[in-house]
Amino acid sequence: MNANAQLSRRQFLSLAGGLAAVCGLGLVGCGGSGTSAATTAAASTDAATDDSANITQLTVGFDQAYPPYGFVGDDGQFTGFDLDLAAEVCSRNSWDIQLEPIDWDAKDTLLSSGAITCIWNGFTMEGREDDYTFSEPYMLNGQVVVVKKDSGIASLADLAGKAVITQTDSAALEVLQGDKADLATTFASLETIGDYNTAFMQLESGAVDAVACDLSISQYQLAAKPDAYTQLDEALSSEHYAVGFKKGSQQLADKVTETLKAMDADGFVKDLCDKYASYGISYDNWLLK
């Protein structure tokens, strides 16, 4: 019940007779109508003031240790599938691009403050819909588990009593603390670390028994070391990648989606997928067709 309705009820109780009752009910009705109108007006104002697409520079926040979506290349320069996508989107919209490697834990603060315009780095949208305004999803992804080939671990059930590691604030961690929390309780430990490159170093050294990660990360690691690792057949979850913007930046999100669709239509995306095929990127997983 809203404040106006409560006020009318109090007035109603203080008045006597049928006429007073009618007046009291009338006040209740007026209170409800006013609230609805105010809400509609506020929503219209928010939509009218969204000028998020009126930019000259797109500052892309990304994890520089997240191949093949964003990482440091052999030449020491930032590269990756998502960074190439972002650069082409900026080129087609006459925007400058600024690549900003970030501490993943600080991404929300950086986005809210305006230090970055978006998070574009294999960013899973499921479970985060209320926290960001997203582009349409552009890539199919999933959460999987990678183990050493000689580990004897062949299923999720075999992880009981094992040490599992994943990235801090990752989609894999969210799954293991959510839908797969019962599975995680069977682990000897569930550890977190700042980046997946270090997580796989831990796996290779034997410090942990398994890495829970994005499908794309698994594909990249298996392509790099096919004799060292294997991916369990059973996935932890299935989800989608999208570009995350500050809440309310719908016009900018729509502009990026529109440009990505145009890039697919003229063959740019297919060529880019082929460029990163050796890293585990497949055009079959592209969604904006």
Rounded CA-CA distance 285/289 in Å is 10
What is the mean predicted confidence (pLDDT) over 16-45?
39
What is the mean predicted confidence (pLDDT) over 54-80?
95
What confidence score (pLDDT) does residue 49 get? 84
Query: What pLDDT band is residue 267 in, cutting at 50, 70 and 90?
Result: very high
User: What is the value of pTM for the model shown?
Assistant: 0.72
Is 57-138+242-285's fold the same as 140-239's?
yes
Is-contact 165 139, C-beta < 8 A? no
pLDDT in tens, 68-100: 999 999 999 999 999 999 999 999 999 999 999
Is-contact 142 236, C-beta < 8 A? yes
Longest dimension (CA), the chain: 88
Rounded CA-CA distance 117/89 in Å is 14
Query: What pLDDT band is residue 280 in, cutting at 50, 70 and 90?
Result: confident
Rounded CA-CA distance 190/173 in Å is 9
pLDDT over threshold 80, residue 270: yes
What confidence score (pLDDT) does residue 80 get? 96
**Is the model more confident about 286 or about 5?**
286
Q: Which of these ranges, 57-61, 125-129, 265-269, has the smallest mean pLDDT?
A: 125-129
Q: Which CATH superfamily is domain 140-239 in?
A: Periplasmic binding protein-like II (3.40.190.10)
What confidence score (pLDDT) does residue 33 get? 38
Q: Percent of the chain at pLDDT above 90?
A: 74
What confidence score (pLDDT) does residue 48 get? 61
**Structural domain spans, the chain:** 3-40, 57-138+242-285, 140-239
Query: What pLDDT band is residue 278 in, cutting at 50, 70 and 90?
Result: confident
Rounded CA-CA distance 274/131 in Å is 33
Is-contact 212 199, C-beta < 8 A? no
pLDDT over threshold 90, residue 6: no
Axis-axis angle for helices 3-14, 18-48 (nearest 10):
170
Q: Percent of the chain at pLDDT above 70?
A: 83
pLDDT in tens, 229-248: 999 999 999 989 999 999 99
List Cβ neighbours of 272 (8 Å cut-off, separation of 6 or more).
81, 84, 85, 88
For residue 179, which amino acid is it?
D
pLDDT in tens, 173-198: 999 999 999 999 999 999 999 999 99
pLDDT over threshold 60, residue 20: no
Rounded CA-CA distance 277/285 in Å is 12
Residue 198 CA: distances (Å) to CA of 28, 165, 281 = 62, 10, 21
What confidence score (pLDDT) does residue 229 get? 97
Q: Which CATH class is domain 57-138+242-285?
A: alpha beta
What is the mean predicted confidence (pLDDT) over 250-256?
98
